[in-house]
């Protein structure tokens, strides 16, 4: 959870410009697309590549990954095996592509859980005021006094490492960060005149939350969702690397690094390629968010 | 004035103690209450009510959770953390034998990383926008956004496989000679340093640049001071608070990084003991390890808070 200190700073800094991005987003998509610079386009391409791999990959690569190849163990990168072969002589590229769905799927589910619940709780806190706000904020603060990886270890020790546990764990760990950002945005919106008018009109708390505040914080929260996704991917990869995440025979990219750890002393491609795949995904998401046209005015994160 | 600072610091320490108490309840709830009946899990479905009752009594599960929590907490505070469920050795002794290794690793890493990060961060801020700044900043962003094990893997590939300078895997801690000691620490320290320097230099750079935007810097520049003098004599002293804060925050991050690094390099420290305990679901070990890490984390976060209080007079009146 200590990781969440960094995005907080950027996203809060982005808060004042919340209305500008919305206008840009509502304008022609094409115009926005043109304003994305080259770095942004390149990261978008990498991201789309992995999303495509997650959607189509398993059906395209079904023959290569599971069959035991008769090729050498820990073979280097070659024309036949673009990512080399693993500790059983299997094609690493096929294994990586097969792991994409699990890697991205679990991380996305956890991120949506964290951002969704964090935003809803923040709206509730902002619209309700005083003691609900105080109780929620205290509870969230308590969660942040356990380091993220340590919380994950405790959860896995107690409940095992099934996919629902992993999603829930990562969701809880990154909820406080999303809550804090959403709350600081929502409190500002809550002080606006039109919210006061809506209150005077006699609108209920739910209406204020969903119709008055939510539309105005959705833009920055989406950018925050991307950053949160990066942290979740890194956390889940670390857990799988420790053997405490996705369990065999299923394998995400972190598990691929773990099962090929034997390639480390010989410098095989089998360990470096899955790790680079994770890096390409997280760096692409980071760079894409930094190079979104409406965030270009801010210090690169 | 000093009394005021003392009161604020005591306030933070008390708050940290309270947080630790709440965390202990959270850890106990997750590991000992929520997973359900440990006796049932251990014996399986075919257990008779009599054997279940006997095992519950043996494990101390026949009393309410609050009483068990109190026993556990008082045991932890008096150094009697119970026995490991797997090896049946005292938990305290198992951690005591590993703790010096981890502390040594952390100390060496901090001794290398902190000065390096401060120098690089201040230099990047001083020549901001230059090629040097861009390379350092881009490298830091790259290191921060990739998993620690990629940094470790790349370090092994470069220094062990390609250059043959260092052994790929640390074979335990060896104090026989300075050369052997260097070899056993080099890879873990190198990896941890990369990650920590990246985080710390980003925060240091941001803190100094933040100061450089202040009006008094404009005055200094109008007086004709050189850029170096502006940064070192004027901006840096005012950035000490945020920088000390950044150092403490990054050191608390070391707690997470060390889990990966100890595992990948087979280093016999507290974190690898903890990871093994989680894999074997050795609850007494997990609980004690978790509390140790949380206590260390809260200590560092509180230290960061205290640093900013002492360094920034404005915070004293909040």
Q: Is A55 domain-assigned?
A: no
Pick from A142, A158, A257: CB nearest B19 = A142
Say yes or no: A192 contacts chain B, CB-CB below 8 A: no
Q: B141 and A264 in contact by Cβ < 8 A?
A: no
pLDDT at B33 over 60: yes
Residues forming a β-bridge with A91: A85
Asked if pLDDT for residue A300 goes beyond 50, the answer is no
Task: Give the per-residue pLDDT at A111.
Answer: 95
- The verdict on a CB contact (< 8 Å) between A264 and B153 is yes
Q: Choosing among B133, B168, B195, B278, which should be mutated to test the A contact, i.e. which has the most A CBs within 10 A?
A: B278
Q: Which residues of A touch B34 (CB under 8 A)?
A: 158-159
SS3 per residue for chain A? CHHHHHHHHHHHHHHHHHHHHHHHHHCCHHHHHHHCCHHHHHHHHHHHHHHHHHHHHHHHCHHHHHCCCCCCCCCCCCCCCCCCECCCCCEHHHHHHHHHHHHHHHHHHHHHHHHHHHHHHHHHHHHHCHHHHHHHHHHHHHHCCCCHHHHHHHHHHHHCCCHHHHHHHHHHHHHHHHHHHHHHHHHHHHCCHHHHHHHHCCCCHHHHHHHHHHHHHHHHHHHHHHHHHHHHHHHHHHHHHCCCCCCCCCCCHHHHHHHCHHHCCCCCHHHHHHHHHHHHHHHHHHHHHHCCHHHCCCCCC
Residues ≥6 apart with Cβ < 8 Å to A99 = A251, A252, A253, A255, A256, A274
Q: Cβ contact (<8 Å) for A159 and B35?
A: yes
Mean pLDDT of B270-291: 88
User: In whole numbers, what is the pLDDT of chain A averaged over residues?
Assistant: 79
Number of structural domains chain A divides into: 1
Closest chain B CA to residue A266: B161
Per residue in A11-31, pLDDT (tens digit) is 444 444 444 544 545 555 555
pLDDT value at position A31?
A: 58
Question: What is the ipTM score, two decimals?
Answer: 0.84
A25 located within any domain: no
Range with lowest mean pLDDT among A116-120, A255-259, B214-218, B238-242: B238-242
A265 contacts in B (CB within 8 Å)?
A: 156, 160-161, 168-169
In a domain, A18, yes or no: no
Residues 198-237 of chain B whose Cβ lies under 8 A from any Cβ of chain A: 206
Residue B57 confidence (pLDDT)? 74
Mean per-residue pLDDT for A63-74?
Answer: 58
Q: Is residue A187 part of a domain?
A: yes
**Contact with chain B for residue A155, Cβ under 8 A:** yes
- Would the pLDDT of A201 be above 70? yes
The enclosing domain of A114 has a CATH number of 1.10.3720.10
Q: Which of B144, B169, B294 is facing A146, going by the closest CB pair? A: B294
Please indicate if any CB of chain A lies within 8 Å of the CB of B313: no
pLDDT of residue B36: 67
Determine contact: A259 vs chain B, CB below 8 A. Answer: no
pTM over 0.80: yes
Task: Categorize the per-residue pLDDT at B170 as very low, low, confident or very high, splitting at 50, 70 and 90.
Answer: low
* Between residues A295 and A111, the one the model is more confident about: A111
Calculate mean pLDDT across residues B156-171: 73
A257 reaches B (C-beta below 8 A):
yes
Chains A, B: CB pairs < 8 Å: 143
Confidence class for position B171, pLDDT limits 50, 70, 90? low
Give the 3-state secondary structure of residue B2. Answer: helix
Contact B290 A150 (CB under 8 A): yes
Residues spanned by the domain of A210? 82-300
**Beta carbons of A206 and A34 less than 8 angstroms apart:** no
Q: How far is B295 from chain A (nearest CA, A)?
A: 9
For A91-144, write each residue's pLDDT tens digit.
778 888 888 888 899 999 999 999 999 999 999 888 887 888 888 888 888 888
Q: Is residue A177 in a domain?
A: yes
Which of A146, A159, A241 minimises the CB distance to B26? A146
Q: Nearest chain A Cα to B203, which residue?
A: A6
Q: Is residue A158 part of a domain?
A: yes
B13 vs A: CB within 8 A: no
Candidates A150, A243, A278; nearest CB to B293: A150
**Is A54 within the bounds of a domain?**
no
B152, closest residue in chain A (CA to CA): A264
Cβ pair A145:B255 closer than 8 A: no
Asked whether residue A15 is assigned to any structural domain, the reply reads: no
Judging contacts by C-beta atoms under 8 Å, the chain B residues touching residue A273 are none
Instruction: Give residues 66 to 125 of A whose Cβ lies within 8 Å of B.
Output: none
% chain B with pLDDT above 90? 5
Span between the terminal Cα atoms of chain B, in Å: 14
Residue B51 C-alpha, separation from nearest chain A C-alpha, in angstroms: 23
Q: Average pLDDT, whole number, for chain B? A: 82
Looking at beta carbons, which residues of chain A come within 8 Å of B264? 241, 261, 264
């Amino acid at each position: 959870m200590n990781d969440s200190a960094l995005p907080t700073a950027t996203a809060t800094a982005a808060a004042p410009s919340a209305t500008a991005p919305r206008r840009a987003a509502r304008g022609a998509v094409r115009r926005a697309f043109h304003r994305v610079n080259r770095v942004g386009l390149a990261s978008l391409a990498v991201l789309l590549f992995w999303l495509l791999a997650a959607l189509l990959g398993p059906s395209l690569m079904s023959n290569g990954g599971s069959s035991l190849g008769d090729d050498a163990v820990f073979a280097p990168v070659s024309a036949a095996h673009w990512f080399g072969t693993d500790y059983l002589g299997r094609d690493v590229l096929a294994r990586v592509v097969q792991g994409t769905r699990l890697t991205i799927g679990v991380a996305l589910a956890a991120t949506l859980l964290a951002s969704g619940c964090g935003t809803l709780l923040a709206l509730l806190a902002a619209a309700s005021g005083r003691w609900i706000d105080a109780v929620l904020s205290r509870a969230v603060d308590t969660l942040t006094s356990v380091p993220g990886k340590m919380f994950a270890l405790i959860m896995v020790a107690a409940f095992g490492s099934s996919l629902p546990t992993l999603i829930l764990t990562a969701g809880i760990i990154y909820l406080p960060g999303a809550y804090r950002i959403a709350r600081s945005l929502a409190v500002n919106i809550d002080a606006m005149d039109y919210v006061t008018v809506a209150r005077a009109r006699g609108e209920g708390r739910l209406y204020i939350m969903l119709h008055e505040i939510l539309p105005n914080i959705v833009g920055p929260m989406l950018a925050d969702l991307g950053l949160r996704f990066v942290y979740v991917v890194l956390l889940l990869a670390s857990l799988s690397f420790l053997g405490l995440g996705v369990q065999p025979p299923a394998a995400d990219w972190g598990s691929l690094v773990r099962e090929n750890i034997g390639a480390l002393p010989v410098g095989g491609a089998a360990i470096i390629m899955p790790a680079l795949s994770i890096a390409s995904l997280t760096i692409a998401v980071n760079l894409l968010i930094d190079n979104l046209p409406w965030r270009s005015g801010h210090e690169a994160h | 004035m000093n009394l005021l600072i003392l009161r604020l610091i005591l306030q933070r320490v008390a708050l940290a103690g309270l947080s630790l108490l709440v965390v202990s309840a959270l850890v106990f709830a997750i590991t000992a209450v929520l997973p359900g009946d440990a006796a049932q899990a251990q014996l399986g479905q075919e257990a008779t009510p009599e054997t279940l009752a006997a095992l519950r009594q043996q494990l101390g599960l026949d009393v309410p959770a609050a009483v068990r929590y109190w026993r556990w907490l008082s045991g932890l505070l008096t150094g009697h953390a119970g026995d490991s469920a797997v090896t049946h050795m005292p938990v305290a002794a198992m951690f005591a034998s590993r703790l010096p290794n981890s502390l040594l690793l952390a100390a060496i890493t901090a001794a290398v990383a902190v000065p390096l990060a401060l120098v690089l961060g201040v230099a990047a801020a001083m020549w901001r926008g230059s090629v040097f700044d861009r390379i350092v900043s881009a490298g830091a962003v790259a290191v921060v956004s990739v998993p620690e094990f990629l940094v470790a893997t790349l370090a092994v590939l470069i220094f062990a496989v390609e250059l043959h300078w260092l052994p790929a895997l640390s074979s335990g801690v060896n104090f026989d000679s300075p050369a052997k000691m260097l070899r056993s620490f080099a890879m873990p320290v190198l990896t941890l340093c990369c990650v920590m320097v990246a985080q710390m230099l980003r925060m240091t750079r941001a803190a100094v640049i933040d100061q450089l935007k202040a009006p008094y810097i404009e005055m200094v520049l109008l007086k004709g001071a050189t850029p170096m003098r502006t940064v070192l004599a004027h901006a840096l002293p005012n950035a000490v608070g945020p920088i000390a804060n950044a150092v403490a925050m990054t050191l608390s991050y070391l707690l997470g990084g060390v889990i990966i690094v100890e595992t990948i390099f087979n280093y016999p420290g507290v974190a690898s003991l903890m990871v093994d305990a989680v894999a074997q679901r050795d609850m007494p070990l997990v609980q004690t390890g978790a509390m140790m890490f949380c206590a260390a984390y809260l200590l560092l976060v509180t230290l960061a808070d205290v640093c900013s209080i002492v360094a920034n007079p404005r915070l004293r009146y909040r």
